[in-house]
Structure 1
Amino acid sequence: MSTPADDPLARERSHLAASRAALRAMREDVESLDISDVTANWVNAQILERQIGERIKALADLSDTPLFFGRLDYLHAPGAERAEGAEGENFYIGRRHVHDADGDPMVIDWRAPVSQPFYRASKKDPMDIGLRRRFGYVGGELTAYEDEHLSDPAEAARTSRLLQQEIERPRVGPMRDIVATIQPEQDEIVRSGLGGTVCVQGGPGTGKTAVGLHRVAYLLYAHRDRLARTGTLVIGPNRSFLHYIEQVLPALGELTVRQATVDDLVAHVEVRGADDAAAALVKGDARMAEVLRRALYAHVTPPTEPVVVVRGSRRWRVPAYEVEEIVRELLDRGIRYGAAREALPQRIAHAVLVQMERSGEAPDDRVQDAVARNGAVKAAVKAIWPVVDPAKLVLRLLTDADFLAGHAEGVLSEDEQKTILWAKAVRSVKSARWSAADAVLIDEARDLVDRTPSLGHVVLDEAQDLSPMQYRAVGRRCTTGSATVLGDLAQGTTPWATRGWREALAHLGKDDAVIEELTAGFRVPTDVITYASRLLPHIAPGLAPVASVRENPGSFEVRRVSGDADVVAACAEALTHEGSIGLIAADARIPALAEALGSAGIGHLAPGEETSHETRLTLVPASLAKGLEYDYVVLDEPRAIVDAEPDERTGLRRLYVALTRAVSGLTVTHGAPLPEQLNGA
C-alpha cells in the first residue's frame, strides 16, 4: 500500500487538504476581527464592516470548485540570478492566494506574475519551468494529475488530456470561469495593461466573453487601489445574458464589479414605446449628437441690455457688449452647458469687481460671491443662459417639426426628420411613450449639460449590436478610463449593427484601441461550426471562420420533422446526455413549443434561470440566444428564425448565432425547407 511519501497523487491530495484548512483559517481570522473599539466615526465603522464582510465572502471555499488546478516547478527561484546548482521552487496555481499560519504561500493567485508561465510556457519557450502539472477533479475531489516536462527535449510536445477534458466538460447552470484552461493568446489579452483599450473580435466559442471577464479580474488584482476608487462595469446585451455570466467574477473572489445593460445606463425616463427600424436607425446615428448640441446651445441668447448691480449707494454697470464677450468666451471654451452657466455669474461679478478696484475700493472674494448672487445678475443669467431640461429638449425635437428642422438642417434630410417625428402631440415628459433609442438621446443631452462620471474600466460585450449613439453612451462612462470591447461582426443582428471595429471604436472615443482577433474555437465542435460557417460569405464576407480545436467531434444532425411532437422527441433524446440542453426557436414559436413540452411532461427554464441542476432544458427565444451556451442544442425551424427578422441578412446572422450555441451536439429540426445558404458544399 502506497503512502503519501511515495504516491504523488496522495501528496497532492494532502496539499489540497492543507490548503483548504489554511483558507478556512484565513477566513476565521477575518471573522474574528473585533471592530467594536474602532475610534473612527460611525460612517467609517460601517465601511470597515462592509469591507470585512466582502473579504469573508471572497475567502469562501467552494466545495465543488478546485482550490488549485496546476503546479509549476521552476528550475530557479523566480527573480533570482540563475546560479549553477540553484534550486527552483514549486508553486500551486489557483483561483485565489492562500497562505499558512507563517504567511508562506500554499496557493498562488492565477493572476500573479509567477503564475503566468502556467499559461504561456511552451517547449519552444519554457520560461524557466521544468515541470507543469495539471490536476483533474471530480467535483472538489482531486482524482488525477498530468505532467509536462517543458525543459526535457526528449519529451515531445502534446495536447494535455486533462486540459481537453476540462474544456469539453459538460456544463449545467450559469457560465463558469476558465482559469484552468486559458490559452496563450487569451492570456495575452487578459494581462494587457489598464491604460489601453482592447477590442476583441472573436467568433463563436473562442472564449471572448470569458477573456473579458478574466481581464477585469486581472486588472482588479494588478490595480486594485485605483479601480477601487474609479470603479468597474460589465455591460451585456440583455438581463438574461447578465444572469448567465454573473457567477464568474464572484467565483474568482471579485464581488464589487457592477453589471448592467446599455438600457440600464440610460434609464433616465421610463421606456414604454418602441421605434420601427427606420426611426431607430436615424435616432441611433451619431449625427444626432450634433443635432442635440445645436438645439441645446440655441438657448444661449446674446445680451441686449447692460447688467446693473446696485450695492449700497453705488451702481455698477457692465455694458451689454462686455457681457457678450464673456458669453462668447465661455462658448468658445467648449465646456459643458451647465458648467458654463455656473461660471457666467462669477464672470459678470468679476467684471464688477474690476470696476470697484479702479474706483479705489478693495473688494475680496466674498464681495464677488455676493455680486454673483445679486438679483440683477441672476436675472441676466436666466435670460442669457437658461436652465435646460435634457428630456424636455429631446421631447421638443421629436414633437416640434420647426424646432427639429432648425437644428437638423444640413445634418438630417427632410425624410430622416419626418421619420423620427412623433405623430401625436405629447403634453409632458412623464406622459411620453419613450423608446430605448429616445433614452439614449436624453443621455447624450444630459452629458452636454453636465459631464457623465467616468469609471476606471468598462467591459462591453456583444458590442457589434450597438448603435453609434449607444457607443457614445458607453464611451461617456470611460472617458478617463479604459475599455475591453468584445464582439463578433458576423453576429450583428440589429439594423445598425457595427460594420467595422475602427468605426465603432471612434464612436466609443477610443480610436487608439488595439484590435485582437481570436480564431481558435474551444467550445463549438468541428461539424457544428463548419455547418454554421456556410452562412459567413452571406453575412460577413472576408471574415475568417472559426477553426475548432476540440478533439471531441461532438454530434451533429439535420432532421426533418412533421410537427412539434418530433421537436419534443429530439429534446428528450438530448436529455439522455449529461449537461445542459437548449431548445432554440424563433420567438413566435416559443408559446407553442412551451405547450408541447408541458404536454410531454418535460420541464424547462427561461434564459437566465439556469441555476437548477434538476431542470436542464432551457427554452430559448432566438432573440435572446446571443452569448449563451448549452451542451446540446435542438434548433427549431431555421427558416422561421430567418423570416422573423426585417431583412434576410439580419435573419441569417440571427440563425448563425443560434447555430453556434452548442458545446457538444446540435440537432437541427425543420418541417419547412432550410434556407438555401445552408445547402452549400
Structure 2
Amino acid sequence: MSVSPELQRERDHLARARAELARMREQTLSLDAHGGDRVSSEFLAATLHRRAASLADDPTSTLFFGRIDRDASADPTTDGNGMERWYIGRRHVADEQGDPVVIDWRAEVSTAFYRASRTAPMGVTLRRRFGIDRGRLTAYEDEHLTDRAEHEVRSQILASEIERPREGPMRDIVATIQPEQDEIVRADVGTTVCVQGAPGTGKTAVGLHRAAWLLYAFRERLARTGVLVIGPNRAFLDHIGAVLPALGEVEVRHATIEDLVASVPVRGADPVDTAVLKGDPRMAELLRRAVWSHVGSPQDALVVPRGARKWRVPAYEVEEILGELRTRGVRYEAARQMLPQRLAHAVLLRMEAAGDSPDDRVQDAVARSTAVKLYAAQVWPALDPKAVLFELLADAAVLSRHAEDLLDRDELELLVWPNPPRAKGSARWSVHDCVLLDELADHLSRTGSLGHVVLDEAQDLSPMQLRAVGRRCSTGSATVLGDIAQGTTPWATDSWESSLTHLGKPGGHVEVLDRGFRVPASVIDYAAQLLPSMAPGLGAPKSVRENPGRLDITRVAAGELLDRLAETVAAMSAEAGSVGVIVPDADLDEASKALSRNGIEHGVLGFDHGDVDHQVDLVPATVAKGLEFDRVVVLEPTAIAAAEPDPRTGLRRLYVILTRAVSALTVLHAQDLPDELAA
C-alpha cells in the first residue's frame, strides 16, 4: 500500500527520534558512578539506573503523538522569528547537539497543543494529530487554526484514540487531554484543586497526569517531599498503577485509606451507626480532650537535690509552666519533651537568686536528673494511642467525661464496647478505629507531610478519614477527585466545601468536569435516569462522543440467568477489548463457576487485590468504582441496589456500576428493574 510523501517524512522523523533515544540511553549506560564516598556512589548509580530505565523505548507505542507549527514572531515571550515545529510526546528526546527532536508533553511549549483553538490560536498555525497502530504512524490529521473560514471538524483520530479497545490496566491519556482537563493538570503546585467529575469525564486520569506534571515542573521540591496517590481499594490501584510509570514517574506511592492509617491488625467490624459516628468530626475534639486530660495538676512541689542543697519549685509555679506548654500549639509529646528543661530552668533561676552562676551544662544535668524525670513523668506521662482509645471505648465513665456536650446518651452507647476486652492487646480493632488511632497519634506527634497527595473517590470518605489524608499534605497541596452522585458510603459527602474544610484545605478550588469522553450517550442517558432520585439538583453529565455506544437490556428467567451471562460474555470476548462482568457481591462465586464451566478465562477483582491482566474481569458490585471496561455486563441491578443499607445509597451504587462501559452495556435481569429504570 502506497504511503504519501508527507506521511513518509513523519515516519522518517519517528525513526530519527527512536535512534536518538537509543543513543541517549547508551550514553547513560556508559557512564560510571564515582561519588566522593560509597554512599554517594550508590546514590549516583541508582540515579543513572532510573535515568536509563526512563529512556527505554516501547515498540508498541510511538515517541510522539502530535505536532504543532508555531509562528515564533507572534510570541512576545521569544526573540525568534519565522516558524517553529514541535513534536509532542511522552518524553523529551534530543539530538547530539542538544536540540529537541521530541518535546515532553509537560513542557510549557506543549500547552498550545492542548489548548490552542481558532479563537485563541496561541501562535499555532497548524496542529497535527497522528494515527498510531502498534508503534507505527498510520495517518495524520491537520487543523489549520489560522484559517477562520474552515469549519470546526471533530477529530476522528482523537475519537478513535478515546474509543480504542484496551485490555489490562488503565493507560495514559496524553494524546487526548482536553483544554479544560489541561488547565487542571497544570495548576500550580501550591494550589489544591477539587474536581467534581461525572462518569467518563476523565477525572482520575486528570489527577494522575497532574501528579506527573507536578513532578516534571517541580522535580527538586517534590523529589524531597514525595507524592502519594490514594484510591478506594487495591483493585482500583492496580487498575491505575501503570499510568504514572508509562509517563516516566516510577517513585509515586499508591495506597488505600486503610493502608494509610494501618497501625494495628484489623480483626473487628463496626455496625453502620457506630462506623458513621466514628467518622464524625466531633470525634477529633473528643480525642483531643482525651489526650490532654492526662496532663496532671501538681499537688506537691518539685524538690531537686544537688550537692548539699535541695532546690524547691512550688506546685503553683509548676502549674504555670504546664499551662504555658499547653498553649504553645505544639503536640503533646513535643511539650512533654520540653517539660524537663522548663523545670530545670526554674531550678536555675533559684540557683542564680542564691548567688550561683550555673550555665547551660548545669541546666541539662538538672533536666536529666532522676528527681526531675520522675516528677515530669508523673505530671505529664508518656502516652500510647492504643491505650488512650482502649480506655475510651472500654470505660463508659471515661468516655462520658470527655464527651460531655459533644455526644448524647445514645451516641455514647454506640461507641462503648458492650463486652470490653481485659487488655488493649486483645482488642478487636476495626478499620474505623484505625482512623481514630491515627488521629490520636497526630495529637501526640505531628504527622509528616508530603508535597502533594492525589485523593480519588473522595466523596466516599468520612470527615475523620479526610482529616487523616489532610495530615499527609498539611504543608503541601492536594488534587481531590470525585463525584457527589457516586457517593456510596453512609457518610458520603453532599458538599465539596465541607470535604475540603475537613481535609484542611478550605481555600481549595472546585472545578467541574461534565463532558463525558469515555461513556457513550446511550449508556450515560440510561444511568442518568437515577439522578433525580439519588442526587436532586446535580446536573446530568453530557456525552460528547459521536458514537452513541450500545445498550441492551434483557429480561431472563431466573433459572437461565447464569447461562445467559456466560453466553453474553463469550460473545463479547470474541471481539478485541476488555470485558467487565459486574455482579451482586453475593453472586460472585456462582457467576465465576458459570464462566469457568463455559471455558471463559477470567480474573476476579477484590478490595485487597487486582487481577487486571485478563480480557474478562469478574467484579463484585462494591469494587467496581473507578474501573472502566470496553464492554460491561451488569447482572441483576435490583439486587445490587437492595444490598445497600438505604435506598438512596443503593441507587448511587447502581449509578456507578451502570457507567463503567466505554462502548457497550448489557443489563441482564430476572427481577423487576428499579422504577427509575423501568422505562
Whether these two folds match at TM > 0.5 is yes
358-367 vs 477-486, greater mean Cα deviation:
358-367
Aligned counterpart, 2:62: 66
Which amino acid is the alignment partner of residue 577 of structure 1?
E
Aligned counterpart, 2:427: 432
Contact in 1 for aligned 2:235/2:611 (Cα 8 Å): no
Contact in 2 for aligned 1:23/1:99 (Cα 8 Å): yes
Number of equivalences: 673
- Counterpart CA distance in 1 for 2:259 and 2:45 is 29
1:266 and 2:265 matched? no
- Counterpart CA distance in 2 for 1:80 and 1:411 is 60
Which amino acid is the alignment partner of residue 211 of structure 2?
V
1:578 and 2:573 matched? no
Contact in 2 for aligned 1:197/1:510 (Cα 8 Å): yes
Deviation, structure 1 residue 2:
8.1
Contact in 2 for aligned 1:132/1:150 (Cα 8 Å): yes
Pair 1:72–1:26, CA change in 2 (3 A):
same
Secondary structure at the residue paired with 1:415?
helix
Which amino acid is the alignment partner of residue 627 of structure 2?
L
- How is 1:359-370 mapped onto 2 (pairs within 5 angstroms)? 359-370=354-365
Pair 1:329–1:377, CA change in 2 (3 A):
same
Aligned counterpart, 1:244: 239
Deviation, structure 1 residue 248:
0.3
Contact in 1 for aligned 2:234/2:610 (Cα 8 Å): no
Aligned counterpart, 2:563: 565
CA RMSD, 1 decimal: 1.5
Aligned counterpart, 1:653: 652
Contact in 2 for aligned 1:96/1:108 (Cα 8 Å): yes
Deviation, structure 1 residue 372:
0.6
Which amino acid is the alignment partner of residue 604 of structure 1?
H
Contact in 2 for aligned 1:561/1:567 (Cα 8 Å): no
Aligned counterpart, 2:674: 675
Deviation, structure 1 residue 24:
1.1
Aligned counterpart, 1:32: 30
Identity %: 58
Query: Which one of 34, 43, 46 corresponds to residue 42 of structure 2?
Result: 46
Which ranges in structure 2 are unaligned for 5 or more consecutive residues? Answer: none
1:634 and 2:633 matched? yes
- Counterpart CA distance in 1 for 2:155 and 2:324 is 67
Deviation, structure 1 residue 219:
0.6
Contact in 2 for aligned 1:77/1:89 (Cα 8 Å): no
Query: Which one of 331, 338, 341 corresponds to residue 343 of structure 1?
Result: 338
Contact in 2 for aligned 1:641/1:655 (Cα 8 Å): yes
Which amino acid is the alignment partner of residue 159 of structure 1?
R
Deviation, structure 1 residue 609:
4.5
- Counterpart CA distance in 1 for 2:494 and 2:126 is 46
Contact in 1 for aligned 2:201/2:518 (Cα 8 Å): yes
- Counterpart CA distance in 2 for 1:175 and 1:349 is 60
Aligned counterpart, 2:220: 225
- Counterpart CA distance in 1 for 2:28 and 2:418 is 62
Contact in 2 for aligned 1:78/1:114 (Cα 8 Å): no
- Counterpart CA distance in 1 for 2:52 and 2:395 is 57
- Counterpart CA distance in 1 for 2:305 and 2:61 is 75
- How is 1:133-532 mapped onto 2 (pairs within 5 angstroms)? 133-532=128-527
What TM-score results when the alignment is normalised by the length of structure 1?
A: 0.97
Q: After the TM superposition, which parts of structure 1 deviate over 4 Å for at least 4 consecutive aligned residues?
A: 77-83, 608-611
Deviation, structure 1 residue 334:
2.7
Which ranges in structure 1 are unaligned for 5 or more consecutive residues? Answer: none
625-634 vs 595-604, greater mean Cα deviation:
595-604
Contact in 1 for aligned 2:65/2:175 (Cα 8 Å): yes
Deviation, structure 1 residue 427:
2.7
- Counterpart CA distance in 2 for 1:252 and 1:8 is 28
Secondary structure at the residue paired with 1:619?
strand
- Counterpart CA distance in 2 for 1:630 and 1:623 is 16
Secondary structure at the residue paired with 2:49?
helix
Pair 1:671–1:410, CA change in 2 (3 A):
same
What TM-score results when the alignment is normalised by the length of structure 2?
A: 0.97
Contact in 1 for aligned 2:236/2:610 (Cα 8 Å): no
Secondary structure at the residue paired with 1:674?
coil
Which amino acid is the alignment partner of residue 210 of structure 1?
A
Secondary structure at the residue paired with 1:89?
strand
Aligned counterpart, 1:588: 586
Deviation, structure 1 residue 77:
5.5
Aligned counterpart, 1:605: 603
Deviation, structure 1 residue 80:
5.6
Deviation, structure 1 residue 38:
2.6
Deviation, structure 1 residue 129:
0.4
Query: Which one of 51, 60, 84 corresponds to residue 55 of structure 1?
Result: 51
Secondary structure at the residue paired with 1:484?
strand
Which amino acid is the alignment partner of residue 10 of structure 1?
Q
Deviation, structure 1 residue 424:
1.7
Show CA shifts across 1:515-562 (max 9, x none).
000000000010100000000011111111110001111110100112
- Counterpart CA distance in 2 for 1:656 and 1:123 is 37
Which amino acid is the alignment partner of residue 598 of structure 1?
S
- Counterpart CA distance in 1 for 2:214 and 2:359 is 48
